[in-house]
A and B are shown apart, each in its own frame.
Chain A
């Protein structure tokens, strides 16, 4: 089933098209969601809700972007709500006292599953907007103008967020994981 047939099938709510959509994009969305929210169980819920929303709104999908970009847009929106809700929870004093500390203390966090705990920790400490551009750029391999269009922000904002996010990742990642490879320490020292 090619992209056009998939879109037609989704619009007419054909179960085979929905099955194809989940099979083709489910894993990729799930991995992106894990990086975005840092929690596998939450990522699963977010992807499920993304797919459900896609099924509901498919008849209105105009096909201006690829199916994956459309799905990822829904996922991003849901992830922002997720982060907003979490932030609201932390502001609640009672809950804040019970809230587990940073990433390494929470057993359900993605870092338990990740091969690199430090990467998950560094990602979790970035703000939502900085994490988004970093993942869109280096996981989704999007170009600057594509990220700008996807997030509805200017290219300048994308570049400045990206610059800040990379600097933060470099600062937080331990020496052996530095982003400059084998000669990274030297490079970092020069800076």
Chain B
């Protein structure tokens, strides 16, 4: 090992983390090199000096007790919070989807019923007669839509209706009009 090699491994030598072979080579080099011995000594002094200075300047410092109180208070909040959150999620998890499914089925049945009913010609005031024995028939039906969406952990449902109007020309006979 030459001087450059020793300087390169100086920190590992001080740490005692060199391999046995490298350690032996370093010892052998040191025994014959005054400059590297001096460099090693200087590095040890720097380490000791900085270590002492850091300790002298911080030894009297103590973490204020209020920090411990705050951390323990935060822990108490944290232990409380998941239980509340879990309770809310469970109640929705148990109730929201079955309720939503039941409501959807109900509305689907209602929707089909309304569509069938709406597809029948309305009986009401006299339909306007057109030339050639045709009449203008107006059908109207309502389509309900039930939607679910999730917002901030809550399931929000919404029921909306859409009215569709269809105008058709039908032969008077087909429309069974008097």
Contacts and interface: CB of A to CB of B under 8 A. Distances in A.
Interface of A: 13, 15, 18-19, 22-23, 26-27, 29-31, 34-35, 40, 44, 47-48, 51-52, 55-56, 113-116, 119-120, 134-135, 137-139, 141, 143-145, 159, 162, 166, 169-170, 177-181, 184, 187
Given A116-B56, A144-B15, A19 B50 contact: no
18 contacts: A18-B71, A22-B68, A29-B63, A30-B61, A30-B63, A31-B59, A35-B57, A44-B63, A51-B67, A51-B71, A119-B53, A119-B54, A119-B57, A135-B54, A166-B50, A169-B50, A180-B46, A187-B42
A137 B46 CA distance: 11
B51 interface: yes
Interface in B21-55: 42, 45-51, 53-55
Contacts of B42: 180, 187
Contacts of A44: 63-64, 67
Contacts of A31: 58-59, 61
A26 B61 CA distance: 11
B168 to A, nearest CB: 67
Main secondary structure of the interface of B (DSSP, over half): helix
B17 A143 contact: yes
A139 B49 contact: no
Interface residues of B, number: 33
B79 A26 contact: no
Nearest to B62: A27
B157 interface: no
Contacts of A23: 68
Contacts of A51: 67, 71
Nearest to A187: B42
Contacts of B12: 144
B17 A145 contact: yes
A138 B50 contact: yes
Given A19-B68, A22-B67, A34-B61, A55 B51 contact: no
B75 interface: yes
A115 B56 contact: yes
A180 B15 CA distance: 19
Contacts of A19: 68, 72
A52 B17 contact: no
Contacts of B58: 31, 34-35, 114, 139
